Amino acid sequence: MEDKLILAIESSCDETAAAVVKNGRTVLSNVISSQIALHTLYGGVVPEIASRKHVEKVIPVINEALKEAGVTLKEIDAVAVTYGPGLVGALLVGVNAGKALAYAAGKPLIGVHHIEGHVAANFIEHKELEPPFACLVVSGGHTHLVEVLDYGKFNIIGHTRDDAAGEAFDKVARAIGLGYPGGPKIDAKAKEGNPDAIRFPKAKVEGAVYDFSFSGLKSAVLNYLNHAKMNNEPVNDADLAASFQKAVVDVLTEHSMALVKERGYKKLAAAGGVASNSALRASLEAACKKAGVAFYVPSPILCTDNAAMIGCAGYYEYLKGVRSGPDLNAVPNLKLGER
Ligand code: KG4
Ligand code: ZN
Span 111-140, average pLDDT: 98
For the chain, percent of residues with pLDDT exceeding 70 = 100
Confidence at residue 102, expressed as pLDDT on a 0 to 100 scale? 98
Q: Is residue 328 part of a domain?
A: no
Ligand 1 near 165 CB (within 6 A) = no
pLDDT tens, position by position, 115-126: 999 999 999 999
Q: Which domain holds residue 271?
A: 130-300
In the sheet that 5-10 helps form, which strands lie side by side, from edge to edge?
Answer: 26-34, 15-22, 5-10, 78-84, 109-113
Confidence at residue 205, expressed as pLDDT on a 0 to 100 scale? 87
Residue 98 backbone dihedrals phi, psi, to 5 degrees: -60, -45
Confidence at residue 204, expressed as pLDDT on a 0 to 100 scale? 80
Say whether both 251 and 309 belong to one domain: no
Ligand 1 near 85 CB (within 6 A) = no
Q: What is the CATH number of the domain that holds 314?
A: 3.30.420.40
Ligand nearest to the Cα of 141, by number: 1
Measuring from atom 10 of ligand 1, which residue has the nearest CA? Answer: 140
Say whether both 271 and 140 belong to one domain: yes
Q: Is residue 336 part of a domain?
A: no
pLDDT at residue 180 tops 90? no
Compute the distance between CA of residue 58 and CA of residue 52 in angstroms, rounded to an integer: 10
Say whether both 176 and 187 belong to one domain: yes
Q: Pick from 180, 195, 187, 174: which is nearest to 240 by CA?
A: 195
Q: Tell me the three-class secondary structure of 63-115, residue by residue.
A: HHHHHHHCCCHHHCCEEEEEEECCCHHHHHHHHHHHHHHHHHHCCCEEEEEHH
pLDDT tens, position by position, 154-179: 999 999 999 999 999 999 999 999 98
Say whether both 208 and 242 belong to one domain: yes
Distance 211 CA to ligand 2 centre (A): 20
Q: Is residue 335 part of a domain?
A: no
pLDDT at residue 26 tops 90? yes
Confidence at residue 295, expressed as pLDDT on a 0 to 100 scale? 98
pLDDT at residue 286 tops 80? yes
Q: Is residue 17 part of a domain?
A: yes
For the chain, percent of residues with pLDDT exceeding 90 = 93
Banded pLDDT at 28 (limits 50, 70, 90): very high
Residue 288 backbone dihedrals phi, psi, to 5 degrees: -65, -40
pLDDT at residue 60 tops 80? yes
Residue of 274, 284, 299 with the most ligand 1 atoms within 8 Å of its CB, for mutation? 274
Distance 102 CA to ligand 1 centre (A): 30
Span 258-264, average pLDDT: 98
Say whether both 112 and 136 belong to one domain: no
Q: Is residue 326 part of a domain?
A: no
pLDDT tens, position by position, 221-260: 999 999 999 999 999 999 999 999 999 999 999 999 999 9
pLDDT at residue 18 tops 90? yes
Residue of 33, 169, 302 with the most ligand 1 atoms within 8 Å of its CB, for mutation? 169
Say whether both 268 and 168 belong to one domain: yes
Residue 80 backbone dihedrals phi, psi, to 5 degrees: -110, 135
Compute the distance between CA of residue 89 and CA of residue 110 in angstroms, rounded to an integer: 19
Q: What angle do CA 88, 90, 91 make, to 5 degrees?
A: 65
Q: Residues with beta carbon < 5 A to ion ligand 2?
A: 139, 305
Say whether both 62 and 180 belong to one domain: no
Confidence at residue 78, expressed as pLDDT on a 0 to 100 scale? 98
Does pTM surpass 0.75?
yes
Distance 118 CA to ligand 1 centre (A): 11
**How many helical (H) and strand (E) elements, i.e. helices and strands, does the chain have?**
11, 10
Banded pLDDT at 83 (limits 50, 70, 90): very high
Say whether both 208 and 100 belong to one domain: no
Domain count, the chain: 2
Q: Is residue 329 part of a domain?
A: no
pLDDT at residue 212 tops 80? yes
Burial class (CB in 10 A: 0-12, 13-18, 19+), 251: buried
Confidence at residue 41, expressed as pLDDT on a 0 to 100 scale? 85
Q: Is residue 63 part of a domain?
A: yes
Say whether both 107 and 243 belong to one domain: no
pLDDT at residue 202 tops 90? no
Say whether both 92 and 108 belong to one domain: yes
Say whether both 147 and 293 belong to one domain: yes
Ligand nearest to the Cα of 281, by number: 1
Ligand nearest to the Cα of 169, by number: 1
Say whether both 163 and 246 belong to one domain: yes
Q: Is residue 140 part of a domain?
A: yes
Ligand 1 near 166 CB (within 6 A) = yes
Measuring from atom 8 of ligand 1, which residue has the nearest CA? Answer: 273
Measuring from atom 3 of ligand 1, which residue has the nearest CA? Answer: 304
pLDDT at residue 137 tops 80? yes
